[in-house]
Structure 1
Amino acid sequence: MSTEARGIVYLVTGGCGFLGQHLLQVLLEKEASVTEIRLFDKQINSSLNDHSTERVKVVLIQGDITDYYSVLEASRGADLVIHTASLVDVWHKVPETVIHAVNVQGTENVIKACVENSIQYLIYTSSMEVVGPNVKGDPFIRGDEDTVYNVCHEMPYPRSKAKAEKLVIEANGNKVLLLT
């Protein structure tokens, strides 16, 4: 069955988090061709089940982004993945290995699952931390994936997001169309 006939299936990693919940609202309001939105998260918010409509089924999937097979199974049959799952640690209380596992290995799992499941579209949410701090004070004007930034990442979170973004950019055009 074609995508047009069955409608579009979205998978949102980190779907029960702040950004994921807002994306759910936008997709429900603005995306006419969506028929299913899967919210994949380690912590499930069961009240999000109430957002299903006659037209769109909201499916909650509890899973761990660091577990490849969970990601692979959650993404099976999806047409587009929006990857928002990440671990932010502004208080420096989470071990760097855990941050790396979620932000870098989790992103790698999403990319591999997209390729294995022939999902052509991946939207990746990066972080402003990737382009800062700007050690020379150069102006930040309308940068994109090709803009080179003179940055020094001393903390685990921005380092992990920069590595994850690099993986996404390297995978672009590799059987998956990636949008950041």
Structure 2
Amino acid sequence: MAHKASAAVPVKGSKLMVIGGASLVGSATVDEMLARGAEQVIIFDNLSFGGQPNIAHLEGNPKVKVVQGDILKLHQLLAATEGVDAIVHLAAYMTLNFDRDPWGGIDVNVRGVQNVLEACRSNKVKKLVFSSSNAVYGYGPGVKGDLVEGVPFHSEGAPPAAILYGASKIMGEQLCRDAFRKHGQDYVVLRFSTVYGERQHYRAANALYIVETHDAIKRGERPKVIGDGSETKHFVYVGDLARACCMAIEAPSTDVAVNTSGPEPITTLQLVNLVAELSGRPDLQAELVEPDPTKVRLTSGGAFEIVHKAAKDAIGWEPQVTMREGLGRLLAWRDAEAKRNA
């Protein structure tokens, strides 16, 4: 991990950009930047995943500029990044989208990152925060124990789309390292664990356990758990990640990749039953079902924990929101949205 004074960019008074800013993490990060006194925040997003409602509350804010653009079109990135001090790059295909469109996933997750780095070099952007994933450790039976930075990649026994996603994030990280070595481009990689929180969507394979469980309970049905429910999941609350993105910009650290995970892991069975309890229906306990071979579901193999100690050392970050508290916020938001749209 490198440290240098020039790698620290204050959020307050700076011109910042969030690529994929209309996403779950993106919209929360924009909110956090504004709360910390950013002079201007540019949301760069192609809006292909219907993110407009996530940023509707920012309409008319003089400090927010929305640019509908595509990271695969370098000229658009070059124009949008002029005068920008730091960028948080979140735009990516996740596993479910990779399963449907591998070509698109490779383009966005690899070529798109290289385009962002080229725009940073050309316009002298001081710092890039790149959102990676704990998928860089792989999936399947080999993933167990403490997952710390430096654990090797495991692919045996996992769906191809999950491995493609993880491999694409490894490539993104290495492109950042390459840009640092060749051009001195300062960067911090944040390896997100599964994100959840207000403005939750249906595109994240593991977060589906939360939203599909809540949907089933609302219909008065027992939620389903695939397998025996002993699989480990490690979630992180979206507000904690928004803080991590801002702290990574402000930290003197550069040329480093760190885990950003929630306080503790949880099994699928514990998660589903917790959602039932927080929904006021603890009687609707999970029903165990056999896996559907036609659906992409991520299995972790053995019990694991994504250790976030290095993030504390590198950027001063640690998670604050427990699973119970974060789930309560998410479910309250979903109930309010359902009422509003009724």
Normalising by structure 2, report the TM-score. 0.45
Q: Kindly indicate whether the alpha-carbon contact (under 8 Å) linking 1:135 and 1:150 is maintained by their aligned counterparts in 2.
A: no
The match for 1:150 is 153
Q: Kindly indicate whether the alpha-carbon contact (under 8 Å) linking 2:72 and 2:108 is maintained by their aligned counterparts in 1.
A: yes
**1:52 deviation in Å?**
1.9
Query: Is 1:161 matched with 2:169?
Result: yes
Q: Kindly indicate whether the alpha-carbon contact (under 8 Å) linking 1:120 and 1:175 is maintained by their aligned counterparts in 2.
A: no
**More deviation in 20-29 or 34-43?**
20-29
Whole-angstrom CA distance in 1 between matches of 2:105 and 2:143: 28
Structure 2: gaps (5+ residues): 1-8, 190-342
Corresponding residue SS for 2:80:
helix
**Alpha carbons of 1:137 and 1:11: their partners in 2 closer, same or farther (altered >3 Å)?**
closer
**More deviation in 94-103 or 150-159?**
150-159
**Alpha carbons of 1:162 and 1:96: their partners in 2 closer, same or farther (altered >3 Å)?**
same
Whole-angstrom CA distance in 1 between matches of 2:95 and 2:118: 26
Structure 1: gaps (5+ residues): none
**Alpha carbons of 1:112 and 1:127: their partners in 2 closer, same or farther (altered >3 Å)?**
same
**More deviation in 35-44 or 92-101?**
92-101
**1:138 deviation in Å?**
5.1
The match for 2:73 is 67
Deviations 1:51-103 (Å, cap 9, x if unpaired)? 726xxx10000001111111111111100010001111426543211101111
The match for 1:40 is 44
**1:38 deviation in Å?**
0.2
The match for 2:317 is none
**1:167 deviation in Å?**
1.1
Matches within 5 A, 1:64-143: 64-90=70-96, 93-133=99-139, 136-137=142-143, 139-143=145-149
Structure having the higher Rg: 2
Deviations 1:135-166 (Å, cap 9, x if unpaired)? 534533442xxx14132273232222221122
Corresponding residue SS for 2:70:
coil
Corresponding residue SS for 1:78:
coil
**1:175 deviation in Å?**
2.7
Whole-angstrom CA distance in 1 between matches of 2:147 and 2:41: 34
Measured on the aligned residues, the alpha-carbon RMSD in Å equals 2.5
The match for 1:26 is 32
Corresponding residue SS for 2:154:
coil
Q: Kindly indicate whether the alpha-carbon contact (under 8 Å) linking 1:15 and 1:84 is maintained by their aligned counterparts in 2.
A: yes
Code of the aligned partner of 1:150: F
The match for 2:245 is none
Number of aligned residue pairs: give it.
169
Corresponding residue SS for 1:15:
coil
